[in-house]
Each structure stands twice: as structure tokens, then as C-alpha cells.
Structure 1
């Protein structure tokens, strides 16, 4: 017959529910420690452009946060959550009236405060941490910095409490039809000797500046990013782990000129599952660019600014730096001069960095699932 467990043994045992409550309390304590210590320190200073009724709502949410009743109590939390949602919804309308440059910064700050108060409500209950991170990201993307960039600091705390589970076998094998089709039919173009972009191994800054940057000549730099942690760490699984629940702006579509091309906000995991988009239009930037290949391969063509006439730029101001030509399948009846356009080309592999001079037209096509990091400067 088994012996009853000792009081000490019973004290050491815990249920999953108890562990969840303990974890939730620890999260709330860590997030609460980031806030100003008193209500007076959490100042809500706005210009007259923000209505008094909105400021009153912000003050109400702040009072609930610092009030005698705990935000962890159901009634207080629900009231604060409702007020936060009203603030977010109203300020969202202000953010989406007219053009973005005309949006007053105070309304962006109001939106960030609404996101802050909502996240605090979410952290005070046993909610989904990933959902709270999404709210913070929206405040960062659409709002403005508040309280010494508190939303970034809250995300850092939330990510420490986030448990990353392994993806299921179904998730591992699931691939979007678009990605499958692209990978199954990818052709690797040949690069003729006269088209090859020159390569340099670890040049000095002076040599690069004098021989390539100033005269604006493309070059592939090798051996300069081998020490980057991403060259050894990055993979789809790693990106899911460190950023899978983060919300980011995404350009959806193959070409800027396609009717279905759009911009949206998306969770990184959803982007990886659905798109890994091959953006293969040709255009130029008004800045120098270092194009660093991290994962996979890309086929790249470069056309000098002198070839602009042969590339048939769009006539509209918004697309004046984008060519009308489908580079690898050109309509030479419609664009006959394109056949005369000289170019340089390469297949960029992991660890290589391509210098693209200012106003050089560049065409990029992924040959594998790939990731790149770009730096621009004037």
C-alpha cells in the first residue's frame, strides 16, 4: 500500500494552472517595473489639436492603472481595456485621414498610449503574449515614441517570457502553392564573361572609395561579412524563433507596377508561410547601396544611368525610377531600344556583398528561398 505524500512533497508539487498564474504574475511585475513610479510621472501633455474628450479617456486609463484597485482585478482590467480600445479606435481614424505626412505627431502619440494601456491590461491577465507583442508593434509602426520608447522595452520583456514551441510536422511540411511553383520552375541564368561584375576580397576602405564608390562602379565584396552572426545563425526556423510573432510592413507582389502589388502589415510567420516574395521589377534608388546576401542565391543585373533611355522608365512621377520592361522576357516590339541596353550581372551567393552605385538600375530575382540585408547611404 502506498504511503501518503509528505507535506513537503505536497508543497513542492504544482499544477499547470498554478504555474501559469505564477508566470503571469512574474510577467506583470516585470512590465510594471518599466512604468513611471507615480501617476504624476506619467505625463499626458498634448497640444490643443487633441480633443479634451480624448485626453479625458487617456487620464481615465492612467487613473485605473495607478488607482487603489489592482489592474489584475477583473472589473478594473475590463474597464481599462475598454477605454484603451476606444482610444486606439479613435486615434486610428485620425491616422488614416489624408496623407501620412499631414498626420499630427500628437495623434500618433495618442495611438501609442492607447496601445500601451491595452498591453498593460493584457499583461495583467493570463493572455497570449504574442498578441500583446502585436499590439506593441502596431504602436511602434503607426504611433510615435512615448516614455523613453517604452513599447520597445516592453517587447523585450514579453519576448523573454514567450515560450517558443517547436513547429508541428504539419507546419514544417506546409508550403504555400506560390513558393512551391516558384521553386519548381526556377531557372538559373548564365552570366557571360563580358557581363561579369568584378570581385574584391576584403579591400581597404580607401581602395573601395577611390576605385569604386567615387567613380560609381559596381563591385562584389567578399570576406567582409563572414564574421556576422547571421551568416551562421539565420534560417527560416531561427527567424521564426526570434521574430515569428512580430508585425512588420510587407510589400506583396512581384513587381511594383503590377495591379495586385500592395503594402500591408503582417506577422513574420505568416509572411514566411505565404509569400517569400520574389520582387523582380527593375528600378533605381537615389542612394548608394550595399546589398548583402545572407541566405540563398539571387540573380542580379545592373544597368548604368547612361542606359536609362533604353530601359523605358514610366512617365509618371511616382514610378519614374521603375522600368516598364520585363527584363528576362522583354517585348522588343514595344521596347525595341532595350535590346541595346548593356548590363553587368552576377549570381550573388551567401557572404557576398554587392555595391550598387547611386542611380544604377538593378533587377533582382531569387533563385532560392533567400534573405538579404541592404544598407543605403547618400
Structure 2
């Protein structure tokens, strides 16, 4: 084997010993336990190199492929957590085995894709004590490939959207206390526009410079929605590099609309998570605290989320740009013509921005509420409230779903 990059050897020290990961491996996963134990032992004794690296590489590759097939054999929500954890661990070892052979630019690009797939499909949370540290350090190592990441001219710095006085059909509260939020919003199940609650977020000043997003996140692979509306027949999804998405959507005028929507970007890119804060309002239910699901929504103007519902409480926070939002209460569900079937069962067939009373006569019974979500605003949405969202400008929103 050729000489190994010393920084890679240092990174390998962050890989787990088998004792660190055996708690996520059921006893019946005999094959996975054998391969991962052998891989952990190999990297613990890396300097002696007394293992058959080629054979170990085949075993790890087979483990990754097998669990990739398991993940894709049914609905993602039904995939056992252990399958996703085994897949993630296999990807970690696969990356290091590839880099020990070749740590050049093309190999790092390949390994970067593998790491993103581990984060997207696997489950890296609480795998072992140093898992997050390994993820961050490995991401930095793989992205350190010089001019290969430079693409074309600089991206624009988006102009700040001037705040305007406009229609708002729901209550507005200016930085409410936690007790006020609980009484007026959470317990009352009342959609509310919360003002001046995000002023301390570094993201408000940093993310409009798309070159910052390019530098921090450009090499990551993410799922992108193709088409402005996920309920349309033309809609599809594709895995792309964030840098390619940014250049297409914010530099080219005639490109098809793409949307980075409902993606757990901040677990994938911890550096971006440092630019935001989980609102205190997410901890309002202290009797039964739960984890918070953080989702990113980044796209050009004219992206649309059709009228739909979510099962959890939601704080939709606007970082830059503005969005037109139309709401309807859960009590009107029977009049909103939800699609049939599991995939779109929470989505209405109507265009909330252009009501068609001839084809959907029950809409005459529905009361709709409208507002404009502007930079720095936070919209509280209780579970099961219908909401339509359309970006009037290039936009970055962050949603926090909680129980």
C-alpha cells in the first residue's frame, strides 16, 4: 500500500471500537456483527496492517450494498432503525478503506457522495460518542480539494426584502413570553404570526450571501424537488450537489424550478445549524418534552407547497425572502377535497390561490386566512391546520416540528 495521509490516520482514530457500537447491533445480525467487528479491529491496529485489506473491503462493500437494498425494499418509514445504523457504519468504514488506497481529488469526491448517502439514508445520531465529531471532521477532509469546488462566477448576494404592511388574518404577537405563547397559541391551537423572535439568528445576516452557503455546503448531496409543486404530474426528485442547485436556481434565469424542501439539512451540515437556534417555544410542553424535527426549505421564487396538513406543531421561520400563506382550519377538512391514497392523503386537490368553485363547490363553506411571511417572522401552525405556501421571492425558511 502507498503512503497514507497522516491527517487521514488521525481521522481514523475517531472510528469506533466494536464495544462502542455493539449496542446498535442485534444478536441476530451475525454477518453485520462479524464484518463491523473485523473492521473496527483493523482500524484500531492500523499501523500494523496485519489484516487482509482487500478481503475486508469486499466484506464492507457487501454489507453496505445489502443494507442499501433493505432500505429500498419498502416504505422508508418502515425501515428498522438498526438497518439504517448498520448502513451508516458500513459507509464510514467503506470511505476509510477507499481513502487508504487513494486519497486524491476524484476519490474524495466519490467518498463525499458515500458520506452524504450515509447521512441521508442511514442513521448516524447517537451511533457512538464520537460519531458527530467524525462526521464533521471527515466532511471537512473530503471537502478540502482546492479549486475543484470552484464553479463559474460568484453567486449573487440577495437584496434584503423591505418589510411591507399587508393583510394578516390571524393574530400577531411581538416576542411573546413562553407562558403567553402557551396560553394564546399552543393550548388554544391558534395559528399566530410571531414577530421579532429571530433577530439573534446569525443566519438572517449570513445566508443572503449565497457564496457563504456555497462555501459551507456546496459539496453536499441533497434531495431536490424538480417542479414548483409536488402534487403536479411533472414533479420528480433528484439527488444533486448543493453547488449545482445554487448555480442553476440563483444564476440562470430560464431554468426549471427546483426546491430543496423539507430536508434535514442541519443534521447533515452542522456548520449551518450553528447559524440558527431552536426557538424556546418548541419546549412549551414541559410535561412531555420531545425531540424537534428541523427542516430546510430553500428555493427560487414561485416554489409552491400546495394546501396540506402536518401532524405536528410547526414553527415556520423565515430567514430571507417572503412567502404568501393561505390557511384553513381542521374543521373544514371535509370541504377541502383531499387526494385519495396514502402519499397525498394530507394534500388538497384545490389551488388555494385560485379557487375553483365550479369544480369544488364545497369550498364556498370554507373560511380561508391569508398572511405574508416576511424575513424574521415566525408562523406558528397547530397540527392538522391546512396551509398553502408560495414564495414571492427567492426564499430560505426553517421549520421546527414538535409535539
C-alpha separation between the residues in 2 aligned to 1:63 and 1:377?
40
Using the TM superposition, name which of 254-263 and 290-299 deviates more.
254-263
1:127 counterpart residue number? 104
1:90 to 32, 42, 66: 66
Q: Which has the larger radius of gyration?
A: 1
Pair 1:50 & 2:23 matched: no
Distance in 2, Cα, partners of 1:40 & 1:319 = 43
2:396 maps to 1:371: yes
Question: 1:28 & 1:111 partners in 2: Cα distance?
Answer: 22
Shift in Å, 1:227: 0.4
CA distance in 1, matches of 2:57, 2:86: 15
In 1: Cα distance, 2:329 partner to 2:216 partner? 38
Aligned counterpart, 1:6: none
Unmatched tracts of structure 2, length 5 or more: 157-163, 249-257, 260-298
Q: Which residue of 2 aligns with 1:107?
A: 83
Is the 8 Å Cα contact of residues 310 and 383 (structure 2) preserved in structure 1? yes
Which stretch of the first structure deviates more once superposed, 98-107 or 342-351?
A: 98-107
Give me the whole-angstrom Cα distance separating, in 1, the residues matched to 2:18 and 2:190: 58
Aligned residues: CA RMSD = 3.6
**SS in structure 2 at match of 1:319:** coil
Say which of 381, 384, 388 aligns to 1:356: 381
**Residues 106/352 of structure 1: CA separation in 2 closer, same or farther (3 Å cut):** closer
- Structure 1 residues 92 and 220, CA gap change in structure 2 (3 angstroms): same
Q: Distance in 2 between matches of 1:281 and 1:233?
A: 29
Q: Which residue of 2 aligns with 1:27?
A: 7
**Which moves more between the two structures, 343-352 or 62-71?**
62-71
Per-residue deviation at 1:226?
A: 0.2
| 2:225 is the alignment partner of 1:244 | no
Distance 2:80 2:334 in 1: 41
1:218 maps onto 2:191 in alignment: yes
Pair 1:170 & 2:152 matched: yes
Q: What SS does the aligned partner of 1:299 have?
A: strand
Q: CA separation in 1, counterparts of 2:379 and 2:46?
A: 59
CA offsets per residue over residues 305-364 of structure 1, 9 Å max, x none? 233333222243543321110122333321123245322212211101111222221110
Q: Which runs of 5 or more residues in structure 1 are unaligned? A: 1-20, 175-189
Asked whether 1:155 is paired with 2:135, we answer yes
Cα separation, 2, equivalents of 1:303 and 1:90: 45
Name the SS of the counterpart of 2:304 in structure 1.
Answer: coil
Aligned residue among 177, 181, 202 for 1:229: 202
Q: Is the 8 A contact 1:311 1:323 kept in 2?
A: yes
1:280–1:100 Cα change, 3 Å: closer
State the distance in 1 between where 2:33 and 2:393 align: 51
- Displacement, 1:34? 1.1
Quote the offset at 1:238 in angstroms: 1.8
The residue matched to 2:354 in structure 1 has which SS?
coil
- Give the drift of 1:27: 2.2
Q: Deviations over 1:148-189 (max 9, x none)?
A: 065532221134444386875735479xxxxxxxxxxxxxxx
Q: 1:77 to 1:253 in 2, by over 3 A?
A: farther
Post-superposition shift, 1:366? 0.6
Note the C-alpha offset of 1:95: 2.5
| Count of residues in Structure 1 that have an aligned counterpart in Structure 2 | 337
| Other-structure match for 1:137 | 116
Instruction: Identify the residue that residue 341 of structure 1 maps to in structure 2.
Output: 366
How many Å separate the matches in 2 of 1:170 and 1:316?
Answer: 44
1:237-316 to 2 correspondences below 5 Å: 237-274=211-248, 275-276=258-259, 277=299, 278-316=303-341
Query: Per-residue deviation at 1:298?
Result: 0.8
Query: For residues 362 and 103 of structure 1, do their structure 2 counterparts lie closer, same or farther at Cα, with a shift above 3 Å needed?
Result: closer
**TM-fit CA distance, 1:282:** 0.5
Secondary structure of the residue that 2:398 maps to in structure 1? strand
For residues 196 and 94 of structure 1, do their structure 2 counterparts lie closer, same or farther at Cα, with a shift above 3 Å needed? Answer: closer
TM-score between the two structures when normalised by the length of structure 2: 0.70
Give the structure with the larger helix fraction: 1
After superposition, the Cα gap between the structure-2 partners of 1:160 and 1:255, relative to the gap in structure 1 and judged at 3 Å, is closer
Counterpart CA distance in 2 for 1:41 and 1:308 is 48
